[in-house]
Amino acid sequence: MNQDLSILHLILNASFVVQAVMLLLVVVSVVSWAAIFRKLFALKKVNALNEEFERDFWSGTSLNELFQSAAQNAKHSGPMERIFASGMREYQKLRERRIADTSTLMDGARRAMRASYQREMDAVETNLSFLASVGSVSPYVGLFGTVWGIMHAFTGLASLQQVTLATVAPGIAEALVATAIGLFAAIPAVVAYNRFARDIDRVAIRQETFIEEFSNILQRNLGSQTATAAGH
């Protein structure tokens, strides 16, 4: 009895539809775990690169030197550094056009940084919707396999004159395995989604704060340059 109701035996003896559902859920689970680990390493890299750039930014290095470094290191730079480079690039282009209006310069730099920020956040949020879909849909796919399996089991019992627990148990047990696999795929995806959503929110807040701080620095520099020009 124990051998007949082993998980492997139940899977091998399930109906074709239930086996197809189980295979689909196993594939989804494997892809989900791959996405989880990929996202975990990607977020660690993003945080490390942002922290490294923030240290350089607040170390007293001039904005021009930071911009040159960001331009040379474009392929390996982090999101925050690319946001900074976008703002500085637009700021310098407007200055080259001899635009002296402070509000025009600041609006241009902010728009460039906001556009870069949106691109960076879209990249950071990659695969997040997939994890959400796995977490919400997998239990229902497993439930479909269970319902189908129970229907198949009871259809097979219709021809029997005497039905006992021993004859019903294997069919119901193999059907319930589909629900178990569905939960096995869904639970890690839901946990990972909640964790990554919280971490991505922190990255977003940190980068938005940097945009505001950098905008204030640019505005102060413009103010000091305007005062210097007025003094001359």
Write out the two tokens for 34: 């791959």
Count, residues in the chain: 232
What string of pLDDT tens digits covers the 232 residues of the chain? 444 556 676 777 777 888 888 899 999 999 999 999 999 999 999 999 999 999 999 988 888 899 999 888 878 889 999 999 999 999 989 888 887 778 888 899 999 999 999 999 999 998 899 999 999 999 999 999 888 888 877 776 666 666 565 666 667 777 788 889 999 999 999 999 999 999 999 999 999 999 999 999 988 887 666 555 555 5
Per-residue pLDDT of 134-157, as tens digits, reads: 999 999 999 998 888 888 777 766
Let me know: does 35 contact 127? Beta carbons within 8 Å.
yes
In the chain the first and final C-alpha atoms are separated, in Å, by 97
CA–CA distances in Å: residue 73 to residues 4, 53, 76, 138: 62, 12, 6, 42
Average predicted confidence (pLDDT) for the chain: 85
- Quote the CA–CA distance of 216 and 214 in Å, as a whole number: 5
Cα dihedral 123/129/135/136 (nearest 10):
170
Give me 151's structure tokens: 């229907």
Q: What is the pLDDT of residue 111?
A: 95
* pLDDT given at position 172: 77
Supply 59's token pair.
């170390």
pTM for this prediction: 0.81
- Contact (Cβ atoms closer than 8 angstroms) between residue 66 and residue 84: yes
